[in-house]
Structure 1
Amino acid sequence: MAKLVLMDHDGAIDDLLSQLLVLTMPDTELIGVTVTPADCYIEPALESAYKLLQLMGREDIPLGRGDYYGINAFPNEWRARPEIINALPMLINLPKSPDPYTYLSAPELIIERLSAATDNVTILMTGPCSNLVLALEQAPELTSKIAEVVWMAGAFRTSGNVQMFQHDGSAEWNVFWDPVSSQKLLTLGLPLTLIPLDVTNNVPVTKQFLSTLATQIDYPLSNLTGQFWALTLDTIPSYHYTYFMWDILATSYLAIPEQFKTERIKASISTRPPNAGQTYLDDNGYELTIATDANTSFFYDYLLEQFKR
């Protein structure tokens, strides 16, 4: 039986690539996608998400619109990337997307999809966790319908990737955007697995990988994903910043968990400056699982194979 997956992402390049990757997984059934207005502007991000569903012939998968805005906004220049995605040659002439304000709100769709599911559902989050927390605050009984939550989030034994005023650099962005909801998530007692910077720092977007992907250009998904990733090489010009496969690595965990090493820990999350959003080991904290290592060569090969489908 296929694994039921409900995905919540925040519309950035790696989130959209992750949505595509889930759609290539033969033993996975994507039952809904919700979008958080974090590393994106919501309207073009929903258009991007819908266009990818069109491309894969899966317009039947419902989309949910995130209306909640977190505490610490992503920089505006990062959030505009879906505008470029929507203009790529393989996407620009697809039929018009629905009005984004006709979609259910993200918490409403999460509640609806969990309620209707015939089996327990894996939640994949590649952006902040706010939509899931809002949904479970409204319908706490639905925690019993969740098989696992896989979240690209946190930095435990490495530095964070937040470079902002009044911050010490210890936090990862998905947690920092809404540290209050992030801490609430830990208290819910869900089967929670985090894929933190500790492992995603090992999978940069490299020109060598893009060169290999380009040899598969006759495959439409290889062509499209190569264009997506090419946009990341100068994606953050204001910082000396490397673009990693943060969300893609977390997404691959659904299909190749045996290629990851994990550890059961207790942790907490700071909710205020100067380390708002910091995820840290805490003997008095909440139990969860974190990935500590991944077979990176297998991972890169896996991506190349999936995008030949």
Structure 2
Amino acid sequence: MPKLILMDHDGAIDDLLSQLLVLTMPDTELIGITVTPADCYIEPALESTYKLLQLMGKESVPLGRGDYYGINAFPNEWRARPEIINALPMLINLPKSPDPYTYLSAPDLIIDRLSSATETVTILMTGPCSNLVLALEEVPELKDKIKEIVWMAGAFRVHGNVQTFQHDGTAEWNVFWDPISSQKLVSYELPLTLIPLDVTNHVPVTRKFLSTLATQIDYKLSNLTGQLWALTLDTIPSYHYTYFMWDILATSYLALPEKFTTEIVKANVSTRPPNAGQTYLDDNGYTVKIATDVNPAHFYEYILTHFKR
């Protein structure tokens, strides 16, 4: 039986790259995608999501529209990237996407997909966790249908990547967007594996990687992913941030768990300033698994090989 995957992403470049990676994984079945309006504007992000499904011949995968807006908004200039993505040469002339307002709400799609699944489901989250928490609050018994949650989130023994007013910089953005839902999810003590900045900091998007990927331009996915990653060079100015393979690394965990070093810890989430969204180790907290290390060379090779298919 293939591994059932339910994905929730928030429409940024690395989220869409992660969607492509899932769609190319053998022995997996993507049973639904929900989109959170966090690092995106929801309408163009749903269009991007659908276009990638079209490109891969997977239009039958149902989409869910996130209508919940978190507590701490991502910067507007980051959220606009799907507008550019939809105009890329490989995507702009694809058949028109459905009206984004016809999709089920994201929590409703999660409830439907978990309820109807004949096997337990692995949930991949590359954005905030709000849609999943909303669904589980409405139907708590669906927790039993979850095999594992893999979430790109948190920063434990390294500095966060939130730099904004009234914040001390300890948080990671996916948690900071909705600290309250994040704290709830951790408190459920589900089989939750966090891929935090502690490990994603090991895999930046480098010009060397992009140069190697460009040598594979005759392969459709290498061509498209190269265009997408090239857009990251000014998404976050290099003097302020470095763009890492946050979501792609978390997604690769589905295929390469044995290549990661992980640790079972007790942890918690702060829900108020000045450290809202901070994930921290806490002897009185909740049990979660966190990734602490990965072999960067092996990871880069996996990605290059996978998008050469």
TM surpasses 0.5: yes
| 1:204 match | 204
| 1:53 match | 53
Distance 1:220 1:295 in 2: 27
Distance 2:121 2:190 in 1: 12
Where does structure 1 lack aligned partners over 5 or more consecutive residues? none
Amino acid at match of 1:133: V
Q: Relative to 1, partners in 2 of residues 1:77 and 1:48: Cα closer, same or farther, differing over 3 Å?
A: same
| 1:121 match | 121
- Secondary structure in 1 aligned to 2:151? strand
- Secondary structure in 2 aligned to 1:64? strand
Tell me the CA shift for residue 11 of structure 1.
Answer: 0.1
| 2:223 match | 223
Aligned length: 309
Q: Does 1:194 align with 2:194?
A: yes
Q: Does 1:69 align with 2:69?
A: yes
The ranges of structure 1 where at least 4 consecutive aligned residues each deviate by more than 3 angstroms after the TM superposition are: none
Identity of aligned residues (%): 84
| 1:289 match | 289
| 2:152 match | 152
Tell me the CA shift for residue 238 of structure 1.
Answer: 8.7
Tell me the CA shift for residue 215 of structure 1.
Answer: 0.5
Larger mean CA deviation between 202-211 and 232-241 belongs to 232-241
Pairing 1:1-309 to 2, within 5 Å after superposition: 1-237=1-237, 240-309=240-309
Distance 1:21 1:32 in 2: 15
Amino acid at match of 2:3: K
Amino acid at match of 2:21: L
Tell me the CA shift for residue 234 of structure 1.
Answer: 1.2
Where does structure 2 lack aligned partners over 5 or more consecutive residues? none
- Secondary structure in 2 aligned to 1:29? strand
- Secondary structure in 2 aligned to 1:69? coil
- Secondary structure in 1 aligned to 2:124? strand
TM-score scaled by length of structure 2: 0.99
Distance 1:43 1:173 in 2: 21
Distance 2:49 2:203 in 1: 24
TM-score scaled by length of structure 1: 0.99
- Secondary structure in 1 aligned to 2:156? coil
